[in-house]
Every structure is written in structure tokens, then in C-alpha cells.
A and B are shown apart, each in its own frame.
Chain A
């Protein structure tokens, strides 16, 4: 199995980033990796995301794109189920329902199909093309995204002096089995398993591998790197938690400090997170706001009873008969063709 640059470039970029942050901290650049880089990354993330959203919002999408996942609203005797209403919505209410299903349950991925040429002796060609439901991507994506949101929420305790009780509840549920000390969080393990599955899928599924670019591998390797450094920091190479919280809380309250004695692994973790945040607005990770701009998901299919005008479809300038007469009046008169408006003497 051979790999190309699309695979190697992101892999070695992430390894290089880890080395840079490790060496940087070793030579005493804690200020850069602990304070400057996170702030810079956050500004780039913030401004970049909003800029991209505004850019998208300025793009006119004149026509409705009715998707054919359900029966559209039509003649009264054609029955529609509740499923049809959500899959092919006629109003904003059902559009929001569809968007909810998309955002929280990844409805589109649930529809994922697998196309496969199976050996089939009965057929003269010796093979049969079959389509079958494939839920692995859906399960992997769902596990990944839900554990990621739990992890993000859990990290909020580093940026708040006291954490609200709902976050504490989430944390105790996440560490439900109370294995080991510090308690093993299930979300961390699920995230790691899911990201490894999503990575292996890109590597071993030839159809997906063929269309995978460096921009697809880079976020995977980054999140894998962040996950591994995070888990290592929590369970093996422990760092001084009080000092870490002093730093992170300092960032959140705009009183940045660099406490003594935080291990390099913390800065490696933080640096990868900062780079990922800075990379966010320019990458496929923009599917976070992008899902709301997804034109096949966010429009009601109301073409049948509402006229939608293309904003750049202006009135064409026709060349009318009067224009022609104005242009050739003299010649027409000379040739004896009757005129609507005679030449004024």
C-alpha cells in the first residue's frame, strides 16, 4: 500500500508542530505558546468564522432546491406522512425540523449507501451490483461529534472559576464508572476510537482514499494529536493542575500569566489546539456554520406555489419594431414601406 503527499504532508506537519512546541518550551518560549498563540488563534478563529459566514450570506441562492427524500406538497388527494413533511418541507417550521435532525442526528449520513460488486454465480457476468445501507460512517461521526462536544464542555472548567452544576453533572456522568484515578472519562476513549475509525476509513476504504486530500487528513491527525496529548497529560504524564488552571483562567480573564512548573506536554496540547482553531475558518471544519448554509437542507421546497426570482435575472433589452423603425426610417421611406411614425418635414 503506497501513500502519497496527501497523507504524509499532514502527518509530518502535526509531528513537526509537536516538535516545535516541545522545543519552544524547552528554550523558554512559554509566553509565546501559552499566551500569544492562544490569543492569536482565537482572534483568527473568531474573525475568520464571522467573515466567512458573511461572505456566504452575501451569495444569492435564488432558487429553491427541493430534495426528493419525501413527497412534496401537491394535490390534496396525494397523501403525505409526517416523514414526507420533514424530508421535503413546505414551510420554515418543517425546515427547522429537518435542520434539527441534520445537526443533532446527522440525518443525511444515516442515508449513506454502499455500492458494491459482489460475486454472484447465478449471474452471467459472475457478479451483481448491490446497494445496501451502510451505517458505519454515521455511527463513527455521531460518536466522534458527541464525544467532542462533551470534551469541549468539560474543558470549560479550566476557563471558569466555578463551574455550573450542569457541567459537574455532565462530568460525573462522563466518569460514571470511576475507573482509575484521575477518573477515566468515557468521552475521551470514545473520541479516540472514533477518530481512529474515521482515519482508518480514509486509509483502507479505497474509494474514500482516492478522494482524500491533505485537507481531509490534516484535521484528523490534528484531532488525533490533541486527543493523544490530552489523554497522556491526564493519565500518564501528569502536569500541575493548579498551575494549568491559573494559566487558562488568566487567558479567560485577560490577566495572562505563565505559572512555573507546567510540563511541556501541556504546551504541546495547547499549541495543537491553537493551530486547529486558527486553521478552522479556512478549512472543511467550517461545516459547523456551513450546515446551516447547506442549500439542500435550509430551504422550503415551495416552488410549486411561490415564485422565486433570480436576483441577477434582469429585464432583457429587446430590440422592438419601433427601435427598428427608428433606426431605418429613412431607408424604409425610400423603399415605400409604410411607417408608424412619419419623418417630420
Chain B
């Protein structure tokens, strides 16, 4: 079968019309491939020569500094807060706004009053170096800050 096929292809080649290696519509096909390469490998081009800066959320605030070493914990363990703080905040919002219950017991058994600005941001008073650090890195613009941030004085209209 393959011998037969080869013979046919050879006889076709002899005619000079059929070129098995020829790319038809060469210009358009190559333009298409170039577009594909640019689109598919876009992140590689975009990042070329850039070094990514890892976010370093800072815990260095006056309130945290005053706490004794053993009490420097959040309402949940660190890893859990990293992964789930937004879900927790959403649950808290429902709990406070819909049920009027501002009580929360942390994983250490300590009781907290639920309040983003008065409890969370009492310790984490450094929005720029704490919240914004990771949110910028992961390109997140949470709706929280539409209302909840203590805006700098110079922003005030």
C-alpha cells in the first residue's frame, strides 16, 4: 500500500505541479501562526526581564507591638486566615447586619467583637502595608474598602 502511495506521490512530483512541502497561502498562514504565538505565549513576553516582588504584609503596628508574644494571634490560625479571611468577613457581615450578633469566639477561646474597622483594624491599622500588600499582588479590589477604610485626611473632599 505504502509502495503504491509512494509511486503516486513520485509521479505527481514529476509533473511539477504538486509540491508536497508547499504551504499554500503562505503569507496568511504565517501571519496566523505569528498571531497564535503572540497570544498563546503572551504572559511569557509580558513578564520577560521582570522580577516578581513577593508581598510582605507587615505586622508592625503599635497595638500588636504592645501585645505579649503569646497573645499575638488572630481569630483563626494564620494559614486559615490567609485562605479564608474574605469568607469569614462575609459570614460576619451576615451575622451582624442580619442577626445583630456581634460576638465571635476565636480559635483560642477568646471573645471578639465583630467589627472590621474597630476590631480587625485595631491591630492591623496599617492598611497600606498589610491588606493592600497581598491584594495588590493578587490583583484584588475587594468591595470592603468602598466604605470601610479610614481614608487619609488628604482624600477628604
Binding site for B on A (CB under 8 A): 45-46, 49-50, 53-54, 57-61, 156-157, 159-163, 168, 171-172, 178, 180-183, 238-242, 245-246, 249-250, 252-255, 261, 263, 289, 292, 309, 311-315
- Would you list 27 pairs from A and B whose C-beta atoms are within 8 A, ordered by A residue? A45-B40, A46-B41, A49-B40, A54-B23, A57-B25, A60-B18, A160-B43, A161-B50, A163-B139, A168-B141, A171-B139, A178-B143, A180-B90, A182-B140, A182-B142, A183-B143, A241-B83, A241-B138, A242-B55, A245-B137, A246-B54, A252-B46, A255-B52, A292-B32, A312-B18, A313-B17, A314-B17
Neighbouring A residues of B141 by C-beta, 8 Å: 168, 172
Name 7 extra pairs, CB < 8 A, besides A49-B40, A60-B24, A289-B32. Answer: A58-B22, A181-B90, A181-B142, A182-B140, A252-B47, A312-B17, A312-B18
Q: How far is the CA of A46 from the CA of B37 in the complex (A)?
A: 8
Out of A58, A252, A289, which one reaches B20, CB within 8 Å? A58
Neighbouring B residues of A263 by C-beta, 8 Å: 83
Q: How far is the CA of A245 from the CA of B136 in the complex (A)?
A: 11
Out of A171, A238, A253, which one reaches B52, CB within 8 Å? A253
The closest CB in chain A to the CB of B22 belongs to: A58
The closest CB in chain A to the CB of B41 belongs to: A46
Q: How far is the CA of A60 from the CA of B25 in the complex (A)?
A: 10
B87 within 8 A of A: yes
The closest CB in chain A to the CB of B18 belongs to: A312
Question: Are A57's CB and B41's CB within 8 A?
Answer: no
Q: How far is the CA of A182 from the CA of B87 in the complex (A)?
A: 7
Report the minimal beta-carbon distance from B90 to chain A, rounded to whole angstroms. 4
Question: Are B24's CB and A61's CB within 8 A?
Answer: yes
Report the minimal beta-carbon distance from B132 to chain A, rounded to whole angstroms. 13
Neighbouring B residues of A239 by C-beta, 8 Å: 83
Question: Are B89's CB and A160's CB within 8 A?
Answer: no
B157 within 8 A of A: no
The closest CB in chain A to the CB of B11 belongs to: A314
Question: Are A157's CB and B138's CB within 8 A?
Answer: yes
Out of A53, A163, A312, which one reaches B12, CB within 8 Å? A312
Interface residues on B, range: 35 or more
Question: Are A238's CB and B84's CB within 8 A?
Answer: yes
The closest CB in chain A to the CB of B19 belongs to: A311
Q: How far is the CA of A59 from the CA of B29 in the complex (A)?
A: 12
How many cross-chain pairs have Cβ atoms below 8 Å apart between A and B? 121
Q: How far is the CA of A161 from the CA of B29 in the complex (A)?
A: 32
Q: How far is the CA of A291 from the CA of B46 in the complex (A)?
A: 28
Question: Are A261's CB and B79's CB within 8 A?
Answer: yes
B145 within 8 A of A: no
Neighbouring A residues of B23 by C-beta, 8 Å: 54, 57-58
B134 within 8 A of A: yes
Neighbouring B residues of A181 by C-beta, 8 Å: 86-87, 89-90, 142-144
Task: Contacts A60-B18, A181-B142, A312-B18 given; indicate if A252 touches B44 (C-beta within 8 A).
Answer: yes
Neighbouring A residues of B50 by C-beta, 8 Å: 161, 253
Q: How far is the CA of A57 from the CA of B18 in the complex (A)?
A: 14
Question: Are A240's CB and B29's CB within 8 A?
Answer: no
The closest CB in chain A to the CB of B40 belongs to: A46
Residue interface bits B1-32, CB-to-A below 8 A is 1, else 0: 00000000000100111111111111001001
Report the minimal beta-carbon distance from B50 to chain A, rounded to whole angstroms. 6
Question: Are B21's CB and A58's CB within 8 A?
Answer: yes
Task: Contacts A163-B139, A181-B142, A289-B32 given; indicate if A240 touches B82 (C-beta within 8 A).
Answer: yes
The closest CB in chain A to the CB of B21 belongs to: A58
Report the minimal beta-carbon distance from A233 to chain B, rounded to whole angstroms. 10
Report the minimal beta-carbon distance from B7 to chain A, rounded to whole angstroms. 14
Q: How far is the CA of A60 from the CA of B44 in the complex (A)?
A: 34
Neighbouring A residues of B70 by C-beta, 8 Å: none
Q: How far is the CA of A315 from the CA of B16 in the complex (A)?
A: 10
Report the minimal beta-carbon distance from B73 to chain A, rounded to whole angstroms. 18
The 9 closest A-B pairs by CB, nearest first: A314-B15, A159-B43, A181-B90, A238-B83, A57-B29, A181-B86, A252-B43, A157-B139, A312-B18
Task: Contacts A53-B32, A181-B87 given; indicate if A159 touches B47 (C-beta within 8 A).
Answer: yes
